[in-house]
Structure 1
Amino acid sequence: MLMKIVVFALVVVVASGFKAMVVPPRASQRLKTVRRRVVDDKVTGKRLEFEEKTINGWEDSWDNATRSGFDWEMEKLRRRLEELVPSTMFGPRYWRFLMEENPESEYRQYAGSTYPGSKPGQLDAFRILFNNLLQFVLGNESEDGAVVAAWDWRSALDEHGLGKFAYSILTGDLQTIVGGPLFLLLTKYHRELGPVFKLAFGPRSFIVVADPAVAKHLLRDGSKNYDKGILSEILQPILGNGLIPADPDVWKRRRRVIAPGFHRAWLDQTLSLFDDCAADLIGDLAGRASLDPGDLLPKTPAAWKAWKHQNPPPGVVDMEERFCSVSLDIIGKAVFDYDFGSSNSESPLVRAVYRCLYEAERRTTAFVPFWLLPGAQFLIPSQRDFNRDLRLLNAKLDELVRRALEADDDDDDDDERISLLDFLVTMRGEDVSTTQLRDDLMTMLVAGHETTAALLTWVLYELFHPSGRSSHHLKRLREELDAVVGARAMTYADILDCKFARLCLAEGLRLYPQPPLLIRRALDDDQLPTTTDRPVRLARGADVFLSTWSLHKSPDLWDNPETFDPSRFEKKKQGRDGWAGYDPDSIPATSLYPNEQTADFAFLPFGAGSRRCLGDQFAILESTVMLARLITTFDFEFAVDPKATLEPKTGLGGLPVADVGMRTGATIHTENGLWMTVHHRTPPLPLP
């Protein structure tokens, strides 16, 4: 009798696992409803049509077959157990993980150390370090063949003193000791040494590249030999195994789950959401526009720093913070169906996200993994802050996932707007205990609003710069928006018609790429393509920085690369040896922006290759709606008096730097905010 019970239970578990692989329990009917609402994309539709046939075939097999015999009794018992015993109490769904196939990973074959394979083993790490020492101390030729950048560490030591110098080196705070963001230093070296060089800080070394041919190799043609490397390691505490840091195997599995959620119909329905959030921001700014700051404006942007921690004068607003907050609201509603309510006041999550990303950036270049030292999370202030911020983000994420799962269990669902989380939970039956769902959603929460906010900040900065250098672009932009949209909400067709508005955003991504650096690690030895006479060969385990900042500002690729000029994307650019140039005629009519293909990898607005950002269209649509509503409603002025005193800055090696300063935390931020006064547009927007 006992043996029969055991066999009976095993059959129930197997049946439950097989069913879970085919269709999520309790989700079949709701999945059909969701698909009827949101799927009209041809490619996605074909895939989902195949899946739906599979699902219907499974259901019909019970509905049409003779309901008798041992199989049917097992299915009835399984269904009954699913209703009575939840997965948290070891119900049938709990055992699904035993049934899921996890094939042996090809990724594990690389660099025979710990999985994932990109983490260098002791032999690889020693070989790279020893080779660097021979090159730097004895002057030997490097095995990689890359010319070495000579960092002037003596000047930095004299300027900052031994204590601060050593602390910055050990903790990876390179922005302090090099005199600005790291990407400025890399651009200085690129202009001195060419498109490929080696940068070394003590035991750490990086091959730094800014060449379209190399970019194409790293991101597309030879991408199977590279992964995110050190980026995966430093982002693991924040994003876990989310799409950005995930190893190739996890990425392939998760992309198949997430990509269908970004289809055309879902993007269409988010346009009204973008407009609602823009209206909230406009309402907040309209209240400030009626206030007069009087004679309280500072003389220089450096004085803005104090306003970060106290009440600014009336009528003055930090537009960088406003963009971060409204972008967070959009992500909350679009991805989680949750209102963060940050359009009128800064959410604590905004600062938590920025501080987490800034900490991750420091860990990229730190010599000592200080965050792994025993007691670091209690003894080191920055680590205490990091863990506090991470707890805040995780707590909010757990709450949002719990709400979505509770909503999924509610059969009475009349909401026409489907959030991305709702889509994922419904379509795939994700369980709250699965860490992968958390990682995917944390990636969207953290990265989904940072990049869009940074883009809008710098485009607004350029369009309203007090020098008037972009006034002609602002005039053309407003003429286009007034003619196409007027004061009404934008449709998808409107956005396609507002070509110059989208080119302004593309130019913002060229001039201020988000992020300014892409990170890869070689899984095996590799020869880099190059247009120079100096071939470079990467050793297995070598870290590579692809400097999009330097690539986008190369005078060999772009005319007047430091100038904000959206019209450059309307002109053909002749290529050279190893680069096909830029051809605007190759941009499809339905494309929202010029991408890496039209510029032959000299322009990487959302990365490139198979791992290009999945949310690119979402970001462009959101940014276009937000920019259009603001530009047609308000005028902005820099909150300095007099405006003519605003002088441009120079950074490392005399390179131009924004006069509001720059700091990086994965994306490019201003130094102390983008403080502006807001005025109702004169003349007012004509009614449609």
Structure 2
Amino acid sequence: MTCTKNLLLLVACLCALQAAHTWSAAPLGFASQGTMGKTGMRLRPALGRSMGGPRRAATRMSGTQTDARDQVLDEIPVAGEGTKTMKRTGTSALLVEESNKNSVLDDVLGALFQVGGKLIFPNDDAVVAVGHLNDLIGDFPLFIPLQQYFFRAGGVYKLSFAPVSQATFYVISDAAAVKHILKENTFSFDKGLLAEILEPILGQGLIPANIETWKARRPVVQPGFHLNWLNRMSITFNECANVLSDKLDKAHEEDEVVDLENLFNSVSLDIIGKAVFNYDFGSVTRESPVIKAAYACLKEAEHRSTFLLPYWNVPVLGSGETSVIPRQREFAMHLKVLNDKLDQMVKEARTLKSEADLEALEKRNYHEMEDPSLLRFLVDLRGGDCDDKQLRDDLMTLLVAGHETTGSLLTWCAFELAQNREEMLKIQKEIDSVVGDGEIEFDHIKQLNATRLALAESLRLYPQPPILLRRALEDTELPLSHGGEDKSTVGADGVMQEKTVKLGKGANVFISVWNLHRNPNLWDEPNKFDPSRWAGRKEPFSDLTSWKGYEPRENPGMYPNEVDADFAYIPFGGGQRKCVGDQFAMMEAVIILSKVLQKFDIQLAVPPEEVGMSTGATIHTRAGLKVRCTPRNK
């Protein structure tokens, strides 16, 4: 055990060293035709219209047939070393990262990478992806190289960063396997690496919580998102969106370009503050130490969730305020500021405790309450008692989960609508018809169908988060979606994939939501922004025996969900550990987007390829979404 720990610490240090000097410019995207990646593969051009590439014939990833789908698989991986190039990819949001020839350090890590894939869980029947660790760390979107491997190796493959199980990962992009993990065997998996990484920040909140804590807290937190409370929150959503609208008005008067990503993140933070804590961050219009601390903690949570090996736990580097790494010292300072504020709010809420059972709390008149917050509900709920630390963990998790996801969803929806004028006009016409010039009321939301489907399509193209982490708590066998034969040809490499993959106890899993949502075996024109795809049934391709396709509900809910799409679409996860705030998040996004488009047209102020992509817990632009918001001519 000591040897394993020491090896992991060694690899963590090597990763930190490698990341420090290798990646500093643009995020890794898709290299031009003829450019080699460090893995020895020839990276493919950008995908589809929304990613900037043309439509091309695509090789299916199971079977041998070839279809015209909006997926690019026409560049077959070849062996060889990389040369360095830099280019933009048409109208894509991605910038292309070039690759150097491998350093000695990279070769050492690459050797560990390959040996681990063969030695760890050797009888799992999984395809082993071969490459270098440096392909997966650094200042670029992690989901992009994972997609490159997906094209080569199919819906389930294995990556190993060292010959130990703790550094070996299975990347899942197959709907049947995802359904098996999230729905059919929920408690055979925990959050694994994610929980270990985020514990100092989120503690035992619902996202990283172990199964026992989750079972105790989910029945307490989930009822807080009841219909009566959501109705009241629609007023808060409008109030905060009106502040944003005023900001956009002022920017137009002064002929300013605005960073819509920053503004969407700010309004989302303000909403979470009021809805969860009854605290006004006011971040759209001002700055404060608490706001600065909140953003710093959010950024650190993102950083840790995507840096594969936890260098901040290496003993010789120190921890917290004694760390030799400036970033970690600053984080410790900001975390203390935020924890002190959360502790203060919890103590104040407890002094005003008015205990009641769930039925009584659901019938409260939230429209007349001075404090209609979720914190008030959790404190007052009879039988929901917990210590201050657990309550703090619940609140911090809601802050992190509720802020970044909604801000990112709105950002990428605006990015797509700015390039799809007809879709924007369709939404605006609907808003004019349903709402007019007034506030977006609770009863309006389900009538704003075009708005909801545009947001749903944005979550397909830009899932928040793009990767989910799990760890197997027992041996299990993953079913795959491909045909009825025992084996099937998958990937551009033409490798043979078994019908199932065996996961051993302790196996780490990356569910690549990005790959799943853009899988050409599941979706027609998977890289095209097309909200209308959700209006009708999607039949599965004939060679997929384990996926039922997409079936819209007769009475549609707030959004097409994972059940409708048989787990080929999981915008809020799925199964019992699905996001507790999905309805809240979609309502919030519908109202904010509707309030903006009710009054403004959105135009990109830079070419779309300059927007860039980076990722933490969610997908961000590289340097903000620079737009002009022009008042509409009605």
| TM-score bucket (shorter structure) | 0.7 to 0.9
1:151 aligns with 2:151: no
The C-alpha deviation readout for 1:515-560, integer Å capped at 9, x for no partner, is: 0011110111111112352131111101001000000001111111
One-letter amino acid matched to 1:611:
R
Aligned to 1:500: 450
Aligned to 1:571: 536
Change (3 A) 1:137 1:400: closer
Specify which of 155, 177, 190 is matched with residue 214 of structure 1.
177
Specify which of 555, 563, 567 is matched with residue 589 of structure 1.
555
Distance 1:264 1:245 in 2: 26
Change (3 A) 1:358 1:372: farther
Aligned to 2:469: 519
1:136 aligns with 2:103: no
Aligned to 2:239: 276
Tell which deviates more after alignment, 401-410 or 662-671: 401-410
SS at match of 1:531: coil
Aligned to 1:100: none
Structure 1: which 5+ residue stretches go unaligned? 1-112, 114-119, 126-131, 157-172, 293-314, 641-645, 649-658
- 1:630 Cα deviation from its structure 2 partner: 0.0
The C-alpha deviation readout for 1:144-202, integer Å capped at 9, x for no partner, is: 22111111468x6xxxxxxxxxxxxxxxx8133xxx31111111111111100001223
Aligned to 2:342: 397
One-letter amino acid matched to 2:572:
F
1:254-653 paired onto structure 2 within 5 Å: 254-292=217-255, 315-345=256-286, 347-363=291-307, 365-366=308-309, 368=311, 370-373=313-316, 375-377=318-320, 378=322, 379-408=324-353, 415=369, 418-428=372-382, 433-465=387-419, 470-532=420-482, 533=487, 534=498, 535-575=500-540, 576-584=544-552, 587-589=553-555, 591-640=557-606, 646=607, 648=609
Distance 2:596 2:514 in 1: 27
Aligned to 1:160: none
Distance 1:674 1:133 in 2: 39
SS at match of 2:128: coil
- 1:372 Cα deviation from its structure 2 partner: 4.4
The C-alpha deviation readout for 1:602-632, integer Å capped at 9, x for no partner, is: 0001000001111000001000000000011
One-letter amino acid matched to 2:583:
Q
Aligned to 2:157: 197
- 1:665 Cα deviation from its structure 2 partner: 1.4
Aligned to 2:629: 678
Contact residue 177 and residue 481 of structure 2 kept, 8 A? no
- 1:369 Cα deviation from its structure 2 partner: 5.4
The C-alpha deviation readout for 1:627-674, integer Å capped at 9, x for no partner, is: 00001111222233xxxxx263xxxxxxxxxx4111111111111111
Aligned to 1:30: none
- 1:386 Cα deviation from its structure 2 partner: 2.1
Contact residue 469 and residue 511 of structure 2 kept, 8 A? yes
Contact residue 312 and residue 319 of structure 2 kept, 8 A? no
The C-alpha deviation readout for 1:380-415, integer Å capped at 9, x for no partner, is: 11211221232232122122212322333799x973
How many aligned residue pairs are there?
493
SS at match of 1:175: coil
- 1:354 Cα deviation from its structure 2 partner: 3.2
Contact residue 293 and residue 335 of structure 2 kept, 8 A? no
Distance 1:175 1:138 in 2: 21
* TM-score for both structures, normalised by structure 2: 0.73
Contact residue 116 and residue 162 of structure 2 kept, 8 A? no
SS at match of 1:518: strand
Change (3 A) 1:525 1:442: same
SS at match of 1:635: strand
One-letter amino acid matched to 1:436:
Q
One-letter amino acid matched to 1:361:
S
- 1:441 Cα deviation from its structure 2 partner: 0.6
SS at match of 2:469: strand
Tell which deviates more after alignment, 191-200 or 389-398: 389-398
One-letter amino acid matched to 1:400:
M
Distance 1:369 1:626 in 2: 37
Distance 2:507 2:146 in 1: 17
The C-alpha deviation readout for 1:194-224, integer Å capped at 9, x for no partner, is: 1000012234210011011001100011222
Contact residue 202 and residue 367 of structure 1 kept, 8 A? no
SS at match of 2:457: helix
Change (3 A) 1:409 1:371: farther
Distance 1:431 1:197 in 2: 43
- 1:447 Cα deviation from its structure 2 partner: 1.2
Contact residue 271 and residue 622 of structure 1 kept, 8 A? yes
Tell which deviates more after alignment, 549-558 or 429-438: 429-438
One-letter amino acid matched to 2:283:
S
Tell which deviates more after alignment, 444-453 or 341-350: 341-350
Change (3 A) 1:185 1:425: same
SS at match of 1:440: helix
Aligned to 1:184: 144
The C-alpha deviation readout for 1:111-170, integer Å capped at 9, x for no partner, is: xx9xxxxxx998xx9xxxxxx97972896792222111111468x6xxxxxxxxxxxxxx
One-letter amino acid matched to 2:452:
R
Change (3 A) 1:417 1:403: closer
Distance 1:424 1:588 in 2: 35
Distance 2:280 2:315 in 1: 36
Distance 2:521 2:435 in 1: 38
* TM-score for both structures, normalised by structure 1: 0.68
Higher Cα Rg, which structure: 1
Structure 2: which 5+ residue stretches go unaligned? 9-110, 357-365, 488-497
Distance 2:370 2:434 in 1: 28
Q: CA RMSD in A?
A: 2.7
Distance 1:626 1:607 in 2: 23
Distance 2:263 2:232 in 1: 24
Change (3 A) 1:368 1:272: closer
SS at match of 1:408: coil
- 1:492 Cα deviation from its structure 2 partner: 2.4
- 1:428 Cα deviation from its structure 2 partner: 3.7
Query: Percent of pairs identical after alignment?
Result: 44
The C-alpha deviation readout for 1:491-515, integer Å capped at 9, x for no partner, is: 2221111111100110111000000
Aligned to 1:665: 616
Distance 2:464 2:574 in 1: 13
